[in-house]
Amino acid sequence: MSKEITREELAQLDASDPLTGFAERFELPEGVIYLDGNSLGALPKGAAARAAQVVNEEWGKGLIRSWNSAGWFEMPLKLGDKLGKLLGANPNETAITDTTSLNLFKTLASALRTQKADAPQRRVIITERDNFPTDIYIAEGLADLVNSLSQESGIPYEVRLIDDEASLRDALGEDTAVLALSHVNYRTGAMWDMVGITAEAHRAGALVVWDLAHAAGAVPVDLNGADADYAVGCTYKYLNGGPGSPAFIWVNQRHHDRFWQPLSGWWSHNAPFAMADHYTPANDVRRFMCGTQPVTSLAMIEVGLDIALEADMSAVRAKSLELTDLFIELVETRCAEYGLELVTPREHERRGSHASFRHEHGYEIMAALIERGVIGDYREPEVLRFGITPLYLSRSDIWDAVEILREILHTGSWQREEYAVRNAVT
């Protein structure tokens, strides 16, 4: 691209873009350019009506009958299959249930148990130092639980952190039980090669869990094509499911009969209403679940999913890359003298769908941007993060956002005292 990009040119490109119409499917407030759909997706039109239907009709009038008559009981699986189409999943491999943190616990525990049967010396969980904190904390909690209860005095279970591809290669070995990576890094937007890394881990005898929190709905994913073992992820980010909407869990068919997960609640029982006095896991995807699901929140996910399934993922990916390239180029040319340093990989195949810049006053600059209606977010250390969601962002939005950023940097308005006050949630 050249330095002479103009807003008019960008607006013309928007006008002929087949994805432009999707923005109308979302409720976005006037005067807001929303660059945080990677953290909490926008509200799809129809989601509020669906929630009202669940509350007023299905709950209010249907009462408990709605577990059967309104399909509440089947919803985690029905929606799981819909979502699975975006992930390269086969039918009956995906459930929408619980949280990403809980689903990480289930998949990691199951991977350890599977390895224990085949290769008991494999006791290391490998993950990234730069991973989203919950991914590390859950692995640590699991290792600690297993060690603290174990009566063996053998080698303890442990979590080993890697920093990059080279240290991953060094770490993978005869003691590795499972490798757990985020496909797209939450802070930098860097993306692992799922096919290559999965194959490498398998050659080393390890199982692989992919966290798709920042990938699902944002980049093409083919879990079966990559021959992955397990996957988890959020529905409230690029899938626009709503704040705290239930997460998903996917397990490769070949592991279903051995998918032992320790949160063996009644929803994962093979006959939950038999009220049996012992646990027998369901023979299918139900065994990934735990207990009663948050129905209102779960129901709203479908609205965002239906929109995502209507869009052509290859067009979404192409536009995401184009908008991200544009954002990076405009920041680097129009805000060149203000010390913003790109921390996101430039190569398309190594990048997800957000762009992050480092600046020592990142927090204050982001606070000033948010006050002007350009909503991104801030992640320690010093990172301004901008999510690029092609379904509701245009090229002109990217231009306008960078112009507001330039003005804030140029005038130094970010230095106002109130911008330095930290909120509980950044």
Ligand X SMILES: *Cc1c(COP(=O)(O)O)cnc(C)c1O
- Which residues are annotated as part of the binding site for pyridoxal 5'-phosphate? 100-101, 132-135, 211, 214, 236, 266, 292
* 354-358 and 248-251 beta bridge pairing: unpaired
Q: How far is CA 358 from CA 324, 355, 365, 368, in A?
A: 16, 10, 11, 16
The one segment of 111-119, 207-215, 220-228, 380-388 that binds ligand X by CB under 6 A? 207-215
- Residue 403 burial class via C-beta count within 10 angstroms: exposed 0-12, middle 13-18, buried 19 and up: middle
Minimal distance, residue 223 CB to ligand X, in Å: 16
Cis-peptide, bond into residue 381, ω within 30° of zero: yes
Query: Quick check: helix, strand or coil at residue 128?
Result: strand
- Give the residue among 41, 347, 342 at the shortest CA–CA distance from 188: 342
Closer residue to ligand X in complex, CB, 123/214: 214
Closer residue to ligand X in complex, CB, 66/389: 389
Let me know if 3 is a catalytic residue. Answer: no
Let me know if 237 is a catalytic residue. Answer: yes
Catalytic residue, candidates 122, 187, 237, 286: 237
Q: How far is CA 388 from CA 98, 248, 410, in A?
A: 26, 22, 24
- What's the distance, CA 293 to chain centroid? 20
Binding mask 133-152 toward ligand X (x if CB under 6 A, else -) reads -xx-----------------
The binding site consists of 100-101, 132-135, 211, 214, 236, 266, 292
Size of the site for ligand X (CB under 6 A): 13
For ligand X, the binding residues in 242-271 under the rule CB under 6 A are: 247
Report how far residue 181's alpha carbon sits from residue 192's, in angstroms, rounded to the nearest whole number. Answer: 8
Among 22, 105, 186, 419, binds ligand X (CB under 6 A): 186
Report how far residue 106's alpha carbon sits from residue 255's, in angstroms, rounded to the nearest whole number. Answer: 13
Contacts of 61 (CB under 8 A, 6+ apart): none
- What's the distance, CA 42 to chain centroid? 15
Closer residue to ligand X in complex, CB, 41/44: 41
User: According to the binding rule CB under 6 A, does residue 426 interact with ligand X?
Assistant: no
* 176-182 and 124-128 beta bridge pairing: parallel
- Give the residue among 362, 337, 342 at the shortest CA–CA distance from 414: 362
Let me know if 211 is a catalytic residue. Answer: yes
The one segment of 210-218, 328-336, 366-374, 401-409 that binds ligand X by CB under 6 A? 210-218
Binding mask 89-128 toward ligand X (x if CB under 6 A, else -) reads ----------xxx---------------------------
Closer residue to ligand X in complex, CB, 389/394: 389
Catalytic residue, candidates 36, 98, 175, 211: 211
Minimal distance, residue 237 CB to ligand X, in Å: 6
What are the catalytic residues? 132, 211, 236-237, 385
* Positions in the binding site for ligand X (CB under 6 A): 99-101, 132, 134-135, 182, 186, 211, 213-214, 234, 247
